[in-house]
Amino acid sequence: MTFMILLSACAWHENQNHGTDHNTPIKLTNDFSTKPQMIPVGNEAQLIAYVTKQGKPVNDATIEMELWRDGDQDHEKLKATGEQAGNYTVKKGLPKLDFTT
């Protein structure tokens, strides 16, 4: 069973003269990992996104992960929680395979 995970992070540029400028994008870096590294089907895992801006951890991002099963149109959006400097996690159990259908 194959899963695809997409990360999304939101940020904007703070303009000194005019307040917040939502039209100026900021480059964020997302590094993704899982614990355990190899996730057995049917077990829970941590999906971890490490978010940085210019090499420094981002502590106030809104992070959402989308989980798709290969070949399936349905997907699940999961809101990540910030646990450490720049680390955002989701705990998720992967479903067991069903060969009866």
Q: Is residue 24 part of a domain?
A: yes
State how many domains the chain has: 1
Q: How far apart, in whole angstroms, are the C-alpha atoms of residue 26 and residue 68?
A: 27
Q: Is residue 82 part of a domain?
A: yes
Q: Is residue 99 part of a domain?
A: no
Q: Is residue 98 part of a domain?
A: no
Instruction: Name the residue range of residue 59's domain.
Output: 3-93
Q: Is residue 85 part of a domain?
A: yes
Q: Is residue 62 part of a domain?
A: yes
Taking only the tens place, the pLDDT of each residue in 26-70 is 788 889 898 988 878 788 889 899 999 889 999 888 888 888 777
pLDDT above 90: percentage of residues in the chain: 19
pLDDT exceeds cutoff 70 at 22 = no
Q: How does the average pLDDT of the chain come out, rounded?
A: 76
- pTM (predicted TM-score): 0.68
